Amino acid sequence: MDKIRIRGGRPLSGDIVIGGAKNAGLPLMAAGLLTDERLVLTNVPLLADIHTMAQLIAQHGVAVEPVTNDGRALSIGGAITNTEAPYDIVRKMRASVLVLGPLVARVGEARVSLPGGCAIGTRPIDLHLKGLQQMGAVIQLDGGYVNATAPQGLKGATIVLAMPSVGATENLLMAASLADGRTVIANAAQEPEITDLCDCLVAMGARIDGIGTDKLTIDGVRSLHGATHSIIPDRIETGTYACAAAITGGSVRLRGGRLDHLGAVVKVLHEAGVDVSEDGGDLIVRRLNGLHGADAMTAPFPGFPTDMQAQLMALMSVAEGAAMITETIFENRFMHVPELNRLGARINVHGASAIVRGVPQLSGAPVMATDLRASVSLVLAGLAAKGETVVNRVYHLDRGYEAVEQKLAACGADIERLPG
């Protein structure tokens, strides 16, 4: 297994190109199952998770083909010949469950492996299933699989989500686009990735009202058609590199980064003494003087994203003063804490909150990556630590960060991948 070795202490300086958003790309690829015609996605990031989703879509019989040599444009389209999403693929990536809504809506049946828990929590899919049932799907759980059928097709329904789940909103939105009649999704998630999915569905002929709000109204249509859609820039990648600039006391230009998707993160960074400003279509991030402790509590968009919690914690571990970081979305998302502490951080967890007491200097050590965002928080800490840090189990990182070591090295970091 590959490792990443970092020798810390160099301020970052330079440009980093922000790629397309993984969490927008995955549902958009699933949306390709909603039509026989070609959906062309551009600004596709080259990530392990995107590759896994391409494998899954192909497994349903639908062709996924590169449109450009660099693989950053993909076309998806064709007849569905197989409605099973097998355990072997779903266990690798929970977002595989996003094929459920499109399959049932398009061909009236799906058999999708239950994703099970993952490192950051139990992560049930009850809201996805309940919503589909309200739309008339018959759901049975059998042998670790969800069997969903709707031989008469799905019917519009009013669905009030118990919590604004991103995945449930996406699954139900896609299903509702081809359902008979009107569906209302109340307490819908409002993440930018949902808006991106809505924009693409509209380009494919869907009728959706309330885009960007917590109440989506979808008038189902008989069929959707092909379209070309460019994936939004990755706000979590943007926020991660903003923290990289801040933790090293450097200054970087994040090409294509969008301030409107990062409001809550930028607010905390400002409080911590980090300047983030727009320039053309880019963001410029630089640390002003010292770093100060700043509190944050994760919440659904437009709140502070849970996917930025670990990175902020790495940053706060070298700030002056203390920071309280509270996780409200996932119950077990502090696995980076013992690893950061191995690098000399002083972090205590009390229930859903972590108290981070800043230290003047971290020191390098071998550490273990446990999930995607935890891994990158260790890379950030390594960039600031004195001496050598080796991050093991880098495959987590490759799921969501494209060429992380090249992007950081181009800004002056001493970082390299050690093939394992």
Tell the smallest beta-carbon distance from residue 211 to ligand UD1 (Å).
Answer: 17
Token pair of 98, please? Answer: 């996003």
Tell the smallest beta-carbon distance from residue 22 to ligand UD1 (Å).
Answer: 7
Euclidean distance between CA atoms 169 and 92, whole angstroms: 22
Tell the smallest beta-carbon distance from residue 116 to ligand UD1 (Å).
Answer: 12
The verdict on 306 binding ligand UD1 (CB under 6 A) reads yes
Token pair of 317, please? Answer: 């571990």
* Interface pick for ligand UD1 out of 95, 227, 312, 319 (rule CB under 6 A): 95
Helix (H, G, I), strand (E, B) or coil at 78: coil
Binding mask 356-385 for ligand UD1 (x = CB under 6 A): ------------------------------
The verdict on 7 binding ligand UD1 (CB under 6 A) reads no
Helix (H, G, I), strand (E, B) or coil at 271: helix
Binding mask 174-203 for ligand UD1 (x = CB under 6 A): ---------------x---x----------
Which residue pairs from 66-71 have beta carbons closer than 8 angstroms and sit at least 24 positions apart in sequence? 67/40, 67/42, 71/44, 71/46
Q: Please report, as residue ranges, which positions from 117 to 136 form the binding site for ligand UD1 (by CB under 6 A).
A: 121, 123-128
The verdict on 160 binding ligand UD1 (CB under 6 A) reads no
Whether 243 sits among the annotated catalytic residues: the reply is no
The verdict on 166 binding ligand UD1 (CB under 6 A) reads yes
* Interface pick for ligand UD1 out of 4, 112, 168, 188 (rule CB under 6 A): 168
Token pair of 131, please? Answer: 């919503």
Count of residues that interact with ligand UD1, criterion CB under 6 A: 22
**Catalytic residue, candidates 118, 198, 200, 411:** 118
The verdict on 26 binding ligand UD1 (CB under 6 A) reads yes
The verdict on 141 binding ligand UD1 (CB under 6 A) reads no
Helix (H, G, I), strand (E, B) or coil at 259: helix
Phi (first) and psi of residue 41, to 5 degrees: -105, 135
Helix (H, G, I), strand (E, B) or coil at 118: strand
Tell the smallest beta-carbon distance from residue 405 to ligand UD1 (Å).
Answer: 22
Euclidean distance between CA atoms 295 and 408, whole angstroms: 27
- Rounded (5°) CA angle 391-403-325: 55
Write the CA distances from 228 to 32, 42, 73, integer angstroms.
11, 7, 10
- H-helix or E-strand containing 192? helix 192-203
Of 28 and 179, which has the nearer Cβ to ligand UD1?
28
Residue keyed to tokens 């994703």: 115
Query: By beta-carbon distance, which residue lies closest to ligand UD1?
Result: 167
Binding residues for ligand UD1 (CB under 6 A): 23, 26, 94-95, 121, 123-128, 163, 165-168, 189, 193, 306-307, 329-330
